[in-house]
Structure 1
Amino acid sequence: MTQTIAPRVRTLVLLLLAVTGALLAGAAPASAHAALTGSDPGQGAVVETAPAQVSLTFSEQIAVSDDAVRVLDPKGERVDKGDPANPSGTTYTVRLLSGLPDGTYTVAYQVVSADSHPVAGAFTFSIGAPSETTVSASAQASDDGLVGMLYGFGRYMSYAGFVVMAGGAAFVLACWERGSGVRAVQRLVVSGWLALTAATLGLLLLRGSYTGSGKAADIFDLSLLGEVLQTKTGAALVSRLLLLAAAALFIAVLFGAYDKREDEEKRDLTFGLAIGGTVVAAGIAASWAMSEHASQGLQPGVAMPVDVLHLLAVAAWLGGLTALLVALYRAPASTPLGRDAVQRFSRLAFGSVVTLVVTGVYQSWRQLGSWSAFTDTRYGQLLLGKIALMVVLVGIASFSRRWTARLAEAAVPEAREEEKQPAGAVPEADGAGEGGEERAAQLARQRAAVESARQKRLRDADPGRSGLRRSVLAEAGVAVVLLAVTTVLTQTEPGRTEQEARAASSTASPAAAPTGQGTAAVTLNMPFDTGGEKGKGVVTVDLDPARAGDNDVHVYVEGPDGQPVDIPEVKLSFTLSAKDIGPLPVVPDRITTGHWSASGVQIPMTGDWKVEVTVRTSDIDQVTVSKNARIG
């Protein structure tokens, strides 16, 4: 919620657009997730003699295990020997057995990029001439399976826990000192600490399986845990746990000794707690920055402090918003949330929003590098979604600002009403006679209960407070979704890396056409109907030269009138059920209206292949159509 955001938002937006344009126009190459940028032999290449080794070149340094790179012959038998080596830079090699026969070989790799994310893939090359192969060139993605889902959930809970813990404590110190004695606020901050601690322990246990086999049975493998502790990510998680111990001490002081001090004494202690809390929170935020996207690629020395500042601003805004919501709904009548506290949070929230936007612009330039990456990459599309949620959140905040003003105006008549009303209809006790002390204590409790109920009734009758509750609740709902999108972004390959990988693939030398194979293209016409508006049409797939090995794929989408139409997404997959191969996914690039293309599509063997095309005509309308094609 931001009290002063409305009059300043236009200038802020214009400034940010100018800065964003300048940054994206002058972007230099960089990477975060590792991507395969080259190999020897190349993808789909046909070599005359068996190579002595296979080399893979990535966009950044990677961590490799003994089983990180596997080379399989057409029968699925391993033909690599020894552990992968790193002879220079970002190139990694694995030696091959001598005397390999002709045929198609599959190279599968599963490594961990320097920013902690697992990267997997596979490709084929041939010796002499392409041949049939029994190997399914599939790769395990980090978000596949139970372990991947648990790891993603753990990441979300760790971010949410940090936001609630750090933001709730900041709200008490900076906006509402009396909130340190409110039980609901105490429970909120402690719950954030517990969630972050439990999620960190869970990520530590899941890490070995997540970057390796992906099997749930390996979660409690102590040998894998030992290997994780020797990695950068493992060290970051352990550091986070140690800092959480310091955070527990901070929380104990905040809701213990600090709460028991008088107002004058609290002011003296607030500065010390603010410094200590900021140091601990920055250290916890650094455990993400030093092991993920910010630690790799362009300008890591600048990116890591910026990332820490970004996370602290997120916590101050969204965590403070959560604490404000709890205070509005759960604060006791004896400790009401005053208008001054709400206005102080407005100023804190505005400063956080400005910090988020400035640091976010820098991060966007660093991770995308071009305007086209906003729409051509998954990272850019998610980032656009995050920006849209931010705009919605700021829009709701403007309504909260109006209710804050009304809350301030309503404070004067509320005070007058309190002066007019009696403290309660409970008779005074004379304290005389037997049991007079007990009677006096009982009447005192009754008067306190009546007074508390009266204050709560007056507080709840305030339309400004009721409107503020609703708008803050709406903000909190959007914030939950925003945090989920942010979590997915941290696990997504940045747009720079994705575009670099595409460029490397498109510039790779095409495979030589094997002797004796036909070169006739295959054309498949498939009508589709997604059920939505303008959801009917025909998708045409051209596969050239329709043989085992390297192929070019062109996809054309036309409406019922035969005219080319644009749709949000087209995806293909190839399956050879007779050999239990596939589905092999293909995501073509958009060329022009109604035309998509993909080059270097590897078909490992001849046979009757099932070609499936998924056509999406809107955010919710899509359909998958298929046809069989004889390849080779």
Structure 2
Amino acid sequence: MTQTIAPRVRTLVLLLLAATGLLLAGAGPVSAHAALTGSDPQQGAVVDKAPTQVSLTFSEGVALSNDSLRVLDPKGKRIDRGDPAGVSGTTYAVKLHSGLPDGTYTVTYQVVSEDSHPVAGAYTFSIGAPSQTTVSVSGQEAGGGVVGWLYGFGRYVSYAGFIVLVGGAAFVLACWQRGSGVRALQRLVVTGWLALTAATLGLLLLRGSYTSTGKVGDIFDLDLLGQVLQTKTGAALVSRMLLLAAAALFIAVLFGAFDKRDDEEKRDLTFGLAIGGTVVAAGLAASWAMSEHASTGLQAGIAMPVDILHLLAVASWLGGLVALLLALYRAPADTPLPGSAVRRFSRVAFGSVLALVATGIYQSWRQLGSWSAFTGTRYGQLLLVKIGLVVLLVGIAWISRRWTARLAETVVAKPRKATEDSDGEKEHATAQAGASASTSAAASGKKGASTEASGKKDGGSERAVQLARQQAAIDTARQKQERGADPNRFGLRRSVLAEAGVAVVLLAVTTMLTSTEPGRTEEDARAATSSSSAEASSAGALTLDMSFDTGGEDGKGVVRIDLDPARVGGNEMHVYVQRPNGRAFDIPEVKVAFTLESEDIGPLPVVPDHIATGHWSASGVQIPVAGEWKITATVRTSDIDQTTVSKNAQIG
């Protein structure tokens, strides 16, 4: 039965890894965790006088480099001078050269938020009047490309390594101390250490390129590495490497000196290993808590210890689950996993689940802030998926607890049966002793014959050793087969395997969750943007209907212009052309112009794009100042038939 289970296990593991890969591949680049909430000049604004600096305001503090803020003229040439610097709070500015000509300027920014994630973006403003610009920033993306994918994979491997390292060691120390001599568990914990160490080193090298250029060639740039070491994230990664050196010493003692001690000495050493292992594990968890979500925002002083406890609970449960699964399938016949170890892990897992629920509720409240954020933000949607997976995992764990109870009852019943069998064996041994006595008497009469057979003694000893080895192998195979045929142990294996499968997917979702902008931050940024838009667009949308007659065939109709939100800055414009009966129809050309005669501005021409029958559209229509604007529509119905109509309207 064990042989038929193994292929199923390998197939299920491969399917789970494939599902995890799909989750990671669909994660995309890291979402911005510090949102741009304001700027001066504002996005899309047209100012009369050239500003001396450009300032940006974010939803949280950010880290700047020399090229974090750049301002480009219409031809793409940089016109900022000096390094960007903080002005006040979360507002940062960069100085501009004097004597800037009229035209449209582009502001680009690439910063790192306090929770270690890169943020990039761009917008435009104009001096005097809008103009054509040759600047292209469409390819700018924070945390994307090959480097972004590698960084995301490294994060997943580091979480997985931490869970296997801490959870596997805790399982051996707290649930099954005899497991310290099981080679499969030794390899599991060492693999977790190697994975976490390699991933941490990789993240340290990738960090500079990940937060700046995004180029693969910059991974080994020593200048970028030096800049990373001066950041909060760089310090956390270096601290993690130092703690991993202490973890290596812990592993060496756990699977070396600890395994060779007797029970009395193990009790004393267990206490020291438990204290030291807890300190190292908490330190490793703190390397995440001090540099990511928990270190910023609301109640950071409470959130970081809570996050450490959350990570330790996850490792104790999921990492211990992997160790339990390995012990159920790979434990040697002479060191079977006892039911008492399964019961102890069941209690550890239950306590871990309680800690996860308590810390998870606090983290959810802190990161979301409202019920609407569950469905209105990507963070909330991922959190709902995580909650569903945790509920599923707890349900499977409940089934595992039932199998554990049945296995414990079986283990208790077997010793009783073994005692009865031992009494029968004693009687049988007594009878054999009498028979052997009579046989010895007969053998004494053949003393001479035995002397002749003395030459064959050595060959008989070798044969006896071979037979003993064969018998031991047969006994081991029989014991393994009996354990595999045990329905309770088989049921526990299947339920634990299902738990481990769900845990793999849960880990992938959790990794994506830590790379997603918190719902509270997203909603705050959205509210700030809406408030800014509301202030600038108090007039609301504008609709104008103007009748026209070009004098030719089918030359009569109505042109409707919708301007939304009819404010200073960028606007969305839609133009509709209809026949007098209200039916839409196409014409060869329609153009719109805006003129503010009181300020001698304009005409500002706009040529909309044809969208559908009788429908044209233009985005980013710039209105530089508020006032009574003359809106002119030029309509051409044929090669020679054309007319211009106009109306005045208050904009802004």
The answer for the alignment partner of 1:551 in structure 2 is: 571
Q: CA deviation at 1:549?
A: 5.3
The answer for the alignment partner of 1:145 in structure 2 is: 145
SS of 1:110's equivalent? strand
Q: CA deviation at 1:552?
A: 5.3
SS of 1:434's equivalent? helix
SS of 2:458's equivalent? coil
Q: CA deviation at 1:137?
A: 4.4
Q: CA deviation at 1:447?
A: 2.8
The answer for the alignment partner of 1:175 in structure 2 is: 175
Q: CA deviation at 1:189?
A: 0.4
Q: CA deviation at 1:202?
A: 0.3
- The one-letter code matched in structure 2 to 1:337 is L
Structure 1 spans left out of the alignment, 5+ residues: 1-31, 424-429, 522-541, 555-603, 613-626
SS of 1:81's equivalent? strand
Q: CA deviation at 1:512?
A: 7.7
Q: CA deviation at 1:548?
A: 11
More displaced 10-residue stretch of structure 1: 189-198 or 295-304: 295-304
Alignment of 1:17-28 (within 5 A): none
Q: Is the 8 A contact 1:123 1:137 kept in 2?
A: no
The answer for the alignment partner of 2:445 in structure 1 is: none
1:504 aligns with 2:528: yes
Q: CA deviation at 1:630?
A: 4.9
1:456 aligns with 2:480: yes
Question: For the pair shown, which has the larger CA radius of gyration, 1 or 2?
Answer: 2
- The one-letter code matched in structure 2 to 1:118 is P
Say which of 468, 477, 494 aligns to 1:470. 494
> Aligned in 2, Cα 1:93/1:33: closer, same or farther, shift over 3 Å?
same
Q: Is the 8 A contact 2:572 2:618 kept in 1?
A: no
SS of 1:106's equivalent? strand
Q: Distance in 2 between matches of 1:611 and 1:363?
A: 47
Q: Is the 8 A contact 2:103 2:126 kept in 1?
A: yes
1:410-458 C-alpha deviation (Å, 9 max, x unpaired): 22454567675999xxxxxx99822454344333322322221121111
In percent, how many aligned pairs have the same letter? 74
More displaced 10-residue stretch of structure 1: 434-443 or 351-360: 434-443
Q: Distance in 1 between matches of 2:269 and 2:408?
A: 28
Q: Give the structure with the higher percent helix.
A: 2
The answer for the alignment partner of 1:621 in structure 2 is: none
The answer for the alignment partner of 2:462 in structure 1 is: 438
Q: Distance in 2 between matches of 1:447 and 1:264?
A: 34
- The one-letter code matched in structure 2 to 1:59 is S
- Higher RCO structure, 1 or 2 (CA under 8 Å, sep 6+): 1
Q: Is the 8 A contact 2:536 2:568 kept in 1?
A: no
1:273-324 C-alpha deviation (Å, 9 max, x unpaired): 1111000000111111111111111111111111111100000000000000
Q: Distance in 1 between matches of 2:219 and 2:611?
A: 37
> Aligned in 2, Cα 1:203/1:131: closer, same or farther, shift over 3 Å?
same
- The one-letter code matched in structure 1 to 2:182 is V
Alignment of 1:541-580 (within 5 A): 544=564, 550-551=570-571
1:555-580 C-alpha deviation (Å, 9 max, x unpaired): xxxxxxxxxxxxxxxxxxxxxxxxxx
Alignment of 1:67-106 (within 5 A): 67-106=67-106
Q: Distance in 1 between matches of 2:159 and 2:605?
A: 46
The answer for the alignment partner of 2:260 in structure 1 is: 260
> Aligned in 2, Cα 1:610/1:486: closer, same or farther, shift over 3 Å?
farther
SS of 1:111's equivalent? strand
1:380-431 C-alpha deviation (Å, 9 max, x unpaired): 11111111110110111111112112212222454567675999xxxxxx99
The answer for the alignment partner of 2:505 in structure 1 is: 481
> Aligned in 2, Cα 1:492/1:300: closer, same or farther, shift over 3 Å?
same
Q: Is the 8 A contact 2:175 2:342 kept in 1?
A: yes
SS of 1:147's equivalent? helix
- The one-letter code matched in structure 1 to 2:293 is H
The answer for the alignment partner of 2:327 in structure 1 is: 327
Q: Is the 8 A contact 2:35 2:59 kept in 1?
A: yes
SS of 1:470's equivalent? helix
Q: Is the 8 A contact 1:407 1:465 kept in 2?
A: yes
Q: Distance in 1 between matches of 2:609 and 2:171?
A: 61
1:254-274 C-alpha deviation (Å, 9 max, x unpaired): 011111112232222111111
> Aligned in 2, Cα 1:264/1:550: closer, same or farther, shift over 3 Å?
same
Cα root mean square deviation, aligned: 2.9
1:160 aligns with 2:160: yes
Q: Is the 8 A contact 1:58 1:91 kept in 2?
A: yes
Q: Distance in 2 between matches of 1:257 and 1:611?
A: 77
More displaced 10-residue stretch of structure 1: 69-78 or 430-439: 430-439
> Aligned in 2, Cα 1:463/1:120: closer, same or farther, shift over 3 Å?
same
Q: Distance in 1 between matches of 2:573 and 2:405?
A: 61
The answer for the alignment partner of 1:378 in structure 2 is: 378
SS of 2:38's equivalent? strand
Alignment of 1:279-428 (within 5 A): 279-412=279-412, 414-415=414-415
Alignment of 1:56-135 (within 5 A): 56-135=56-135
Q: Is the 8 A contact 1:45 1:510 kept in 2?
A: no
Q: CA deviation at 1:143?
A: 4.1
Q: Is the 8 A contact 1:108 1:122 kept in 2?
A: yes
More displaced 10-residue stretch of structure 1: 187-196 or 404-413: 404-413
SS of 2:119's equivalent? strand
TM-score, normalized by length of structure 2? 0.73
Q: CA deviation at 1:545?
A: 6.7
SS of 1:433's equivalent? helix
Structure 2 spans left out of the alignment, 5+ residues: 1-31, 426-449, 546-561, 575-603, 622-652
The answer for the alignment partner of 2:515 in structure 1 is: 491
> Aligned in 2, Cα 1:609/1:312: closer, same or farther, shift over 3 Å?
farther
Q: Is the 8 A contact 1:33 1:293 kept in 2?
A: no
Q: Distance in 1 between matches of 2:488 and 2:333?
A: 17
Q: Distance in 2 between matches of 1:41 and 1:547?
A: 15
Q: Distance in 2 between matches of 1:235 and 1:72?
A: 34
Q: CA deviation at 1:123?
A: 1.6
Q: Distance in 1 between matches of 2:616 and 2:166?
A: 57
1:194-216 C-alpha deviation (Å, 9 max, x unpaired): 00000000000000000000011
1:106-140 C-alpha deviation (Å, 9 max, x unpaired): 21100011111111111222222333323334374
Q: Is the 8 A contact 2:74 2:131 kept in 1?
A: yes
Aligned residues: 508
> Aligned in 2, Cα 1:305/1:552: closer, same or farther, shift over 3 Å?
farther
Q: Is the 8 A contact 1:75 1:135 kept in 2?
A: yes
- The one-letter code matched in structure 1 to 2:296 is Q
The answer for the alignment partner of 1:620 in structure 2 is: none
- The one-letter code matched in structure 2 to 1:544 is D
> Aligned in 2, Cα 1:96/1:457: closer, same or farther, shift over 3 Å?
same
Q: CA deviation at 1:328?
A: 0.7
The answer for the alignment partner of 2:275 in structure 1 is: 275
Q: Is the 8 A contact 1:236 1:288 kept in 2?
A: yes
> Aligned in 2, Cα 1:216/1:198: closer, same or farther, shift over 3 Å?
same
Q: Distance in 1 between matches of 2:165 and 2:486?
A: 30
More displaced 10-residue stretch of structure 1: 67-76 or 328-337: 67-76
SS of 1:76's equivalent? coil
- The one-letter code matched in structure 1 to 2:480 is K
SS of 2:457's equivalent? coil
